[in-house]
Structure 1
Amino acid sequence: MAASVSLKLMIDEKTNRVVAAEAEKDFVDILFSFLTFPMGTIIRLTSHEQLKIPVTIGCMNNLYRSIQNSLLNWHTELCKTMVLNPRNPCAIYCSKLKINIDDSGSEMNYACSRQGCRYLSKYQNVSCVCSKGVTTKEMKSDDSGSSVESCRYGGAFLQKGSIMFLITEDLQIRPASPHILAQLLSGFGLSETSGIREMPVEVSKEQVL
């Protein structure tokens, strides 16, 4: 069953406009993860053919496609792969998300095939610095013995807890409280919540994209 996260939309019944969404940390963590993505990952994900409405980011999509179709004299084929499929330095944190849209495999390291060599590479099938092996063995980042707080506590970027968040239509995020909600409604010319209808929704991976 595909993963999803729950939101509660707050809709101004008079204008039929969403004024905010109320969400738990799972969804807010997903939004925060966007800031960890390299530009190459963002372009690749948002221009995917499966998306109903592909996104164009200025001329960067053209730059990405020109590299995809490039016959330039790359130093190695790996150099081209590194540019088109860059690593996310926060991948081990993103792997804890309920919906992780980064499919770059950035949480993986690759160990040398030579017994006794302890070198790790971020990319597979690379000649090892020991000059006697190739990086072929897959290892998750936390398999290499690294200590990552998010793994220890089971979360991603935000602390675990029952706190709720208010998310505005322009992606401002604040802890939910009656005071913050009143401020938000005031910005829409609303003085109370009586004209606000709540609508629960489930957000899937495609909708996150």
Structure 2
Amino acid sequence: MEVFQVAHFVRLRSSVRSSRYLAAADDGTSVFLCGRRGVHNAVWAVEPVIGVIPGASAGPYVRLRGAYGRYLVATNYGAGRGPSDGVVAEQRDLGVRPTPPGYLWQAFRRRDSFVLRNGAGRYLRANGRFRRWHKDVSVAGDNASTMMQWRVEVVPPMASRPSLVDLPAQLMHRTNPPVESDLSRVIRYVRADNAGRYGEQEWAPVRVNTNNLTHLRLTMAERLGQNCDAGQITLCVRAGRYAHLSPLLVDLPMGNNPIHIVVLNHGTPARENPQTMGSRSKISLKLLVDSKSKKVLFAEAGKEFVDFVFSLLTLPVGAVVKLISAGTMQGSIGRLYQSVEHINASYLLPNKDRADLLQPKVLHPDARELLLLQPESGGAGGSPLARFKLYTCAGHCTTAAMEAKAACPQCKKAMDTEVALVLPSASSPAQSSAAASGGDGESSGYVKGLVTYMVTDGLEVTPMSAISSITLINKFSVGKDVELAEKYVSIAMDEGLGILKAALRSDTVLSDVFLAKKK
């Protein structure tokens, strides 16, 4: 892996077919062996992957991102008639977390070259040793073939931003130019702020009938208004909810699939390092309110907000008390929490830690993100929710412990190797692969995206429909003088904790949080 530790961008050249490079095809899906070293399609960005990956062998790993922002993946589709032919390699979106094993790659030195093994234990293979017209690339089991050996060429980053008239070379090998029906697609775009942040509710659609990058820049500048100069923006592809942003330096791929574009301004921190930017840790919500009575009738919500309110049910009671402060809790649970805080340690059993009661670990792996909390850190300002961890011994016996350093009952070694916890609700490999190709991350959280939900003031959640909303409005308006208005709000950590606190004591949660007068 040392070759990937020093590289941000690489070319992968076949050791046997020495003039052929692994390239992202301009259909946006397939990969093949390309004889043109200088095209941008033959350059792959290297993304280190941190942490333990369920279902994958020991790391470290990287992801390889191509010219269209999509990732090199070993699919489940057979590459030939027999099992020894392996599976097809493709470009795919990254729409799930953690990263599926098929997206993960390691480099191991073999003779004077490298072999690339993925998280499932298969190896990237060039084809066409004897049939020279054969340009396919597959992923197969290791049979010591030299066709699995690659030369890794480190590509230095560009010294300056390419101009509109000086873009990198790209694949343009089609004999017949494509017609409009081959290129018409919907672009979903959002403009990021100077820090590179944007809201998931801010995406807007526009239909284009060409794949030309310059035309797309001009279209984006026109849509964004008079203060937007096509020469002063960079268009970045986001190929899936959890993909890094990839500056678009070549024309769009052929086809009609929708593409997500994030627009960055030149001269901002986000433009200098687009991989550090992402969606804001906020959720947008549209409320229908009665301005006279200061009450919320209902909210129109997307997947993010519904996942958030559903995730409140995953919290242990001790975690809830810590999040909203024991002194402000109604009832007796706050005083019970304070009793545990203040009891002398001499009254506790020697093998018991009061932190297990005061700071219980959260089992659900996405709970911290869904609750809009910051990641764990070692300092006092870290997340109030500890992550549930499991440990095993170096011999990987069939035992696990919730605390490091416990002695393995089988081999007696210290159980200090962290292992991944996979919940029964986690997606199967087939579901993960399907979700990854869809690109919207619907396997994370609880409910499906692309649906609008109605959330009442008392947090009753149902799919949005015209009939249900009209019925609720009529029910609220009977015998009353109402003045209905729309109100847009953003939910970050403070508002999220306010919703949690209000949900424990009130039937008018949204009104209490967003319409109550500030004290």
Q: Please say whether Structure 1 and Structure 2 have the same fold, judged by a TM-score greater than 0.5.
A: yes
Alignment partner, residue 325 of structure 2: 47
Q: Deviation at 1:169?
A: 1.3
C-alpha offsets along residues 164-202 of structure 1, whole Å, 9 cap, x if unaligned? 1111111111211111111211232169xx942212221
1:68 aligned partner, one-letter code? E
Report the counterpart of residue 273 of structure 2 in structure 1.
none
1:64 matched to 2:337 = yes
Q: 1:202 aligns to what SS in structure 2?
A: strand
Per-residue deviation, residues 36-92 of structure 1 (Å, max 9, x unmatched):
2111111111117xxxxx640411111112112222432235443322232334x13
Per-residue deviation, 1:29: 1.0
Task: Determine the C-alpha separation between the residues in 1 that align with 2:293 and 2:347.
Answer: 57
Q: Determine which structure has greater relative contact order: mean sequence separation of CA pairs < 8 Å that are 6+ residues apart, divided by chain length.
A: 1
CA contact (8 A) 2:289 2:484 kept: yes
Superposition deviation, residue 8 in structure 1: 0.6
- C-alpha separation in 2, matches of 1:65 and 1:181: 44
**What residue number does 1:207 align with?**
495
- Distance between the aligned counterparts of 2:413 and 2:331, measured in 1? 42
1:136 maps to which of 397, 404, 416: 416
8 Å CA contact 1:41–1:104 kept in 2: the answer is no
Label 1:190 to 1:121 Cα distance change in 2 as closer, same or farther (>3 A): farther
In the alignment, the residues of structure 1 paired with residue 313 and residue 425 of structure 2 have an alpha-carbon distance, to the nearest angstrom, of 22
Higher strand share: 2
* Contact kept in structure 2, 1:165 and 1:173, CA below 8 Å: yes
**What is the aligned partner in structure 2 of residue 103 from structure 1?**
385
More helix by share: 1
Q: Is the 1:8–1:22 contact (alpha carbons within 8 Å) kept by the matching residues of 2?
A: yes
Deviation per CA, 1:96-133: give whole Å up to 9, x if none: 63735872212x22223x43434222233444434723
Alignment of 1:114-125 (within 5 A): 114-125=394-405
- C-alpha deviation, 1:147, in angstroms: 7.6
- Residues 96, 206 of structure 1: CA spacing in aligned structure 2 closer, same or farther, 3 A cutoff? closer
- Seen in structure 2, the aligned counterparts of structure 1 residues 66 and 127 have a Cα distance that, compared at 3 Å, is farther
Decide whether the 8 Å contact of 1:8 with 1:21 is kept in 2: yes
Q: Name the amino acid aligned to 2:395.
A: Q
Q: Contact 1:38–1:86 at 8 Å: present in 2 too?
A: yes
- Is the counterpart of residue 10 in structure 1 residue 283 in structure 2? no
Q: Distance in 1 between matches of 2:285 and 2:494?
A: 15
Q: Which has the larger radius of gyration?
A: 2
How many residue pairs are counted as aligned between the two chains?
A: 196
Provide the C-alpha distance between the structure 2 equivalents of 1:56 and 1:35, rounded to a whole number of angstroms: 17
Change (3 A) 1:74 1:130: farther
Percent of aligned pairs with the same residue? 24
Indicate the SS of the match to 2:454: strand
Cα separation, 2, equivalents of 1:80 and 1:163: 43
Q: Hey, what's the Cα distance between the residues in 1 that align with 2:325 and 2:369? A: 25
Q: 1:132 to 1:81 in 2, by over 3 A?
A: farther
TM-score, normalised relative to structure 1: 0.77
Change beyond 3 A, Cα 1:105–1:78: farther
Alpha-carbon contact 2:405-2:415 (below 8 Å) kept: yes
Contact 2:287 2:486 in 1 (8 A): yes
Aligned to 2:464: 176
Q: Which residue of 2 aligns with 1:188?
A: 476
Mapped pair 1:19 → 2:297: yes
Mark the runs of 5 or more structure 1 residues left unpaired by the alignment: 49-53
Q: CA deviation at 1:28?
A: 0.8
Per the alignment, do residues 37 and 116 of structure 1 end up closer, same or farther by CA in structure 2, a change over 3 Å counting? closer
Instruction: Supply the distance in 2 between the matched residues of 1:85 and 1:4 (Cα, whole angstroms).
Output: 25
Q: Which runs of 5+ in 2 are unaligned?
A: 1-196, 198-279, 375-383, 436-442, 498-519
Calculate the aligned-residue CA RMSD, in Å: 3.1
Shift of 1:31: 0.6
Aligned partners of 1:96 and 1:155 also within 8 Å:
no
Q: Distance in 1 between matches of 2:336 and 2:411?
A: 34
Please, which moves more after superposition, 29-38 or 124-133?
124-133
